[in-house]
Amino acid sequence: MFIRGRRLRQNKNIRNLVEETNLSVNDLIMPIFLTDGKSKSQKIDSMPNIFRKTLDNQLKDISSAIKLGINAIIIFPAINKKLKDPLGKEALNKKGLIPRAISTIKKKFPEILVITDVALDPYNSDGHDGLLKNGEILNDETVEILCRQACIHAEFGADIVAPSDMMDGRVAKIREALDRKGFYNTAIMSYAAKFASSLYGPFREALNSKPKSGDKKSYQINPKNYREAVKEILLDEAEGADLLVVKPASFYLDVIKTASETSVLPIVAYQVSGEYSMIKAAAQKGYIDNDSVMCESLESIKRAGATAIITYFALEIAKLLRNQ
């Protein structure tokens, strides 16, 4: 028999009818880079159109995001160098940039979901996600600090805390700490499968959080390992995570697919800074078309099985979806 697959592709209506993947504004989580002070907006050279902004300016972006229908933001702090120390003490400062930002955002926009990053790298003078001692990243000591950091974020109104550090056992400990303090409604979105990727470079430029020594290979997963990623997915689900993150997204679609089939939790894919920058740079050179590659990249991530996507394209794609 001669099968004519093209029958289902012959016009726009039939193509629409059989379309399998639908990207919606509901799927988007918008990252924002915060810096201290007033009315500042600083360019990030490696990330065209993305800025490090003070809270007053970020509130304008959040308002635009809400108008476009975006449900959630994830906030990352660029901490003043003078406030960084080897213990990352600023991470536990209740008057710090993040607690202040969370409460201001939630006061002004109670409905937007505020997700916070739980890790020490923006605060730690070593630039590592955990405490560094004699060349080793300490696990259990770091987890204790992360529990306190997560509780502070919850206290100031974070809806979801997102440990991105890859220490062992932190999800169960954070859940326990949150519950003990009565924050049983605060969800945990755990970076379960976070790879030691070279695609985080522009993000580290944005936050000035590059590790001073060594790399993150003793805690983030080897990009060559698939089975190990599945193990981390299973562990974080068992420890009580509410949502699981796979990061980066585009080079790891196999992991997103398996995660979505193996776990019953929502899978959040993080299209990281390097993925964004590659598309932007090529588009600016005229080598590819920005809008269609942006859509294709996000649709592919959804097709693989992601429930939601953290993406620096959030505002741009939300505008495009609105005008479609």
Given the rule CB under 6 A, which residues bind ligand PBG?
117, 119, 121, 129, 164, 200, 203-204, 216, 272-273
Query: At closest approach, how far in Å is the CB of 138 from ligand PBG?
Result: 16
Strands (E) across the chain are located at 28-35, 41-43, 51-53, 72-78, 113-118, 131-133, 136-138, 160-163, 187-194, 243-247, 267-271, 308-311
Q: Which residue is nearest to ligand PBG (CB)?
A: 203
Q: Give the 3-state secondary structure percentages of the chain, helix then strand then coil, rounded to 5.
A: 45, 20, 35
The DSSP bridge partners found for residue 132 are 137
CB closer to ligand PBG out of 27 and 121? 121
Q: Which residues pair with 268 in a beta bridge?
A: 245, 308
CB of 77 to ligand PBG, least distance (A): 11
| Choice between 183 and 200, CB closer to ligand PBG | 200
Please give the C-alpha separations between residue 121 and each of 2, 11, 118, 166, 266, in angstroms, as whole numbers: 59, 51, 9, 12, 26
Give the C-alpha separation, 56 to 54, whole Å: 6
Dihedral, CA of residue 244, residue 117, residue 141 and residue 93, to nearest 10: -150
Residue 151 token pair:
């509780």
In angstroms, give the least distance from the CB of 117 to ligand PBG.
5
Q: Which is nearer to ligand PBG, 32 or 70 (CB)?
A: 32
Q: Encoding tokens for residue 34? A: 């915060």
Looking at beta carbons only, is 179 or 215 nearer to ligand PBG?
Answer: 215
The answer to whether 121 touches 131, Cβ cutoff 8 Å, is: no
Q: How far is the CB of 225 from ligand PBG (least distance, A)?
A: 17
φ, ψ for residue 111 (rounded to 5)? -80, -25
* CA distance between the termini of the chain: 39
Least separation in angstroms between residue 30's CB and ligand PBG is 12
> Closer to ligand PBG at the Cβ: 61 or 121?
121
153-169: burial string, b at 16+ Cβ within 10 Å, e else: bbbbbbbbbbbbbbbee
Question: For residues 156 and 203, which CB has a smaller minimum distance to ligand PBG in the complex?
Answer: 203
Residue 4 Cβ vs ligand PBG, minimum distance, rounded to whole Å: 44
CA distance 302 to 257: 9
Which residues have a catalytic role annotated?
194, 247
Q: Cβ of residue 323: shortest distance to ligand PBG, in angstroms?
A: 26
Query: For residues 253 and 262, which CB has a smaller minimum distance to ligand PBG in the complex?
Result: 253
Is beta strand 131-133 parallel, antiparallel or unpaired with respect to 136-138?
A: antiparallel
